[in-house]
Amino acid sequence: MQFPDYRPRRMRQSEPFRRMIRETRLCTDNLIMPLFAVTGKNVREPVESMPGQYHMSVDHVAKTAKEAKNLAIPAIILFGVPDQKDPLATQAYAKDGIVQQAIRSVKDECPDIGVITDVCLCQYTDHGHCGMVEKGVIDNDGSLDLLARTALSHAEAGADMVAPSDMMDGRVGFIREILDENDFTHMPIMSYAAKYCSAYYGPFREAAHSAPQFGDRRTYQMDPANALEAVREASLDVSEGADVIMVKPALPYLDIISRIREEIDLPVAAYNVSGEYAMIRAAEKMGWLDGTAAALETLTAIKRAGADMILTYFAMEAARTLQSDPSG
């Protein structure tokens, strides 16, 4: 096909034609809304680093989940911001921990929205690392039991799916085992399999009060320069029983999403992280771009790369836009 016989612009000249040949359609079914739960009642405080996002007490979390449900968003993912931290992250797996309370409150108020929980220790440890620390180093194997207990406590509180984000080796298998032993064989695991050590988590760490108090996360999160290793990480998690494989962050790692889509035969999730959100919000505030349009374009690109599910702080806004123009 060559010019002048073939003219790509022919099929681009009108909206009906553009709609007919559109290859990727972002749909509300693809979206997962992250929410931050804090202790207290009737709390809804803006997260400064993420305009439009809030720290919410469980009553507001449930209310927001209902709004998400009314917009046809299939699921939320819960993050807890506890008011107590200690070396053993006890609030991560406490029966009445903040996430466990939030799960119950969402399930009471809005039983049909999917409740996914982030499983990690960094919001709950006083040192802010995702695993246990022994003599200044991360104790991989010593962390597995606490991570598994955290996942189990979420399951017992009524969560529909658990999503470990800690990046300790072997944790998916450990979580699968403890869930199975406790009659949660039906509970799926969404594994943050290829989670990179990224500067784009900056705004989240402010939101979740989870910045490491010493060192960084380079010994457990992946080196941004590596792609083959992402496939190895994903394959490991598949062999340990993962049901969904996540790539995180999303936008700077579209090549990884597309590679995982090709090589791994499981649903793929991508996390459009806090830094990706904050950049668009900041540029929008400066009047430098149209924030909603940039958000929709970004989410479409993430889906085009191969993601089935997109965790995004733009979920509500995107769902509203798609409601008025479902052709994506």
Nearer to ligand PBG, 269 or 328 (CB): 269
Q: Counting runs of H as helices and runs of E as strands, what totals does the chain give?
A: 11, 12
Pattern of binders to ligand PBG over 122-161, x per CB under 6 A? x-------x-------------------------------
Q: What is the DSSP letter of 51?
A: T
Give the separation between CA 168 and CA 146, rounded to whole angstroms: 11
Nearer to ligand PBG, 140 or 274 (CB): 274
Site residues (CB under 5 A) for Zn ion, limited to 104-133: 120, 122, 130
Binders of ligand PBG among 84-123, rule CB under 6 A?
118, 120, 122
Q: Binding partner of residue 205 among ligand PBG, Zn ion, none, CB under 5 to 8 Å per kind? A: ligand PBG
Q: Residue 33 pairs with which residues in a beta bridge?
A: 76
User: In the chain, helix, strand, coil percent, each to 5?
Assistant: 45, 20, 40
State whether the Cα torsion 11-12-13-14 is positive or negative: positive
Is the peptide bond prior to 249 cis by the omega test (within 30 degrees of 0)? yes
* Least distance in angstroms from the C-beta of 130 to ligand PBG: 5
Q: Which of 174, 196, 201, 253 binds ligand PBG (CB under 6 A)?
A: 201
Of 59-67, 152-160, 199-207, 293-301: span binding ligand PBG (CB under 6 A): 199-207
**How far from each other are the two terminal CA atoms of the chain, in whole angstroms?**
29
Residue 274 or 300 with smaller CB distance to ligand PBG: 274
Judged by CB under 5 A, the number of residues near Zn ion is 3
The C-alpha atoms of residue 317 and residue 305 are separated, in whole angstroms, by: 21
Q: How many CB atoms lie within 10 A of CB 217?
A: 22
Q: Which of 254, 261, 262, 255 is nearest to 302 (CA)?
A: 254
Distance between CA atoms of residues 257 and 278, nearest Å: 21
Could you give the CA distance from residue 168 to residue 120 in angstroms, rounded to a whole number? 10
Structure tokens at 73: 């968003």
Residue nearest to ligand PBG (CB): 204
Between 273 and 315, CB nearer to ligand PBG: 273
> How far is 117 from 127, CA to CA, in rounded Å?
22
The answer to whether residues 170 and 147 touch, using CB atoms and an 8 Å cutoff, is no
Q: Given the residues 95, 195, 285, 303, select the one marked as catalytic.
A: 195
Q: Which one is catalytic: 69, 85, 107, 248?
A: 248
In 3-state terms, what secondary structure has residue 270?
Answer: strand
- Closest alpha carbon to 234 in 215, 251, 213, 248: 248
The residue from 174, 196, 204, 253 that contacts ligand PBG (CB under 6 A) is 204
CB of 261 to ligand PBG, least distance (A): 21
135 is a catalytic site residue = no
Q: What's the min distance (Å) between Cβ of 41 and Zn ion?
A: 27
Q: What x/- string results for residues 255 through 274 when contact with ligand PBG is judged by CB under 6 A?
A: ------------------xx
69 is catalytic: no
The listed partner (Zn ion, ligand PBG, none) that binds 124, CB under 5 to 8 Å by sort, is none
Least Cβ distance, residue 67 to ligand PBG (angstroms): 20
List residues with catalytic annotation: 195, 248
Binding site for ligand PBG (CB under 6 A): 118, 120, 122, 130, 165-166, 201, 204-205, 210, 273-274
Binding site for Zn ion (CB under 5 A): 120, 122, 130
